[in-house]
Amino acid sequence: MKATAIASPNIALVKYWGKRDEKLILPQNSSISVVLNNLWIKTTVDWNKKYKQDCCIFNQKEFKKGSKEYDKYIGLFLNKVRKMAGIKLRTKIKSQSNFPLAAGFASSAAGFASLTLAVNKSLELGLKNKELTILARQGSGSSARSIYGGFVEWLAGKKKDGSDSFARQIAVSDYWQDFRMILCLISTKEKKIKSRIGMARAVKTSPMYKGWLATINDDLKKVKNGIIKKDFSLVGKTAEENCLKMHSLALTSKPPVIYWLSGTMDVIQAVIGLREEGVECYFTIDAGPQIKILCLAKNAVRIKKRIKKIKNVQDVIMARPGKEAKITNQHLF
Kindly list the residues in this chain that would bind ligand PMV in the complex (CB under 6 A).
Answer: 12, 15-16, 31, 106, 108, 140-142, 195-196, 286-287
* DSSP run (H or E) holding 260: none
> At its nearest, how many Å lie between ligand PMV and the CB of residue 46?
25
> At its nearest, how many Å lie between ligand PMV and the CB of residue 44?
22
> At its nearest, how many Å lie between ligand PMV and the CB of residue 43?
16
Nearer to ligand PMV by Cβ, of 56 and 113: the residue is 113
Burial label, 332 (beta-carbon count in 10 A; 0-12, 13-18, 19+): middle
Question: Residue 29 CA to chain centroid, in angstroms?
Answer: 15
**CA dihedral sign, ordered 298, 299, 300, 306:** positive
> At its nearest, how many Å lie between ligand PMV and the CB of residue 279?
26
> At its nearest, how many Å lie between ligand PMV and the CB of residue 298?
27
Nearer to ligand PMV by Cβ, of 127 and 287: the residue is 287
What is the spatial distance between Cα 257 and Cα 199, in angstroms, rounded to a whole number?
9
Nearer to ligand PMV by Cβ, of 188 and 328: the residue is 188
Question: Residue 296 CA to chain centroid, in angstroms?
Answer: 22
What is the spatial distance between Cα 155 and Cα 166, in angstroms, rounded to a whole number?
6
Nearer to ligand PMV by Cβ, of 3 and 147: the residue is 147
What is the spatial distance between Cα 4 and Cα 48, in angstroms, rounded to a whole number?
15
Nearer to ligand PMV by Cβ, of 45 and 216: the residue is 216
Nearer to ligand PMV by Cβ, of 285 and 317: the residue is 285
* DSSP run (H or E) holding 115: helix 107-122
Burial readout 186-220 (b: 16 or more C-beta within 10 A, e: otherwise)? bbeeebebbbbebbebbbeebebbeebeeebeebb
> At its nearest, how many Å lie between ligand PMV and the CB of residue 200?
10
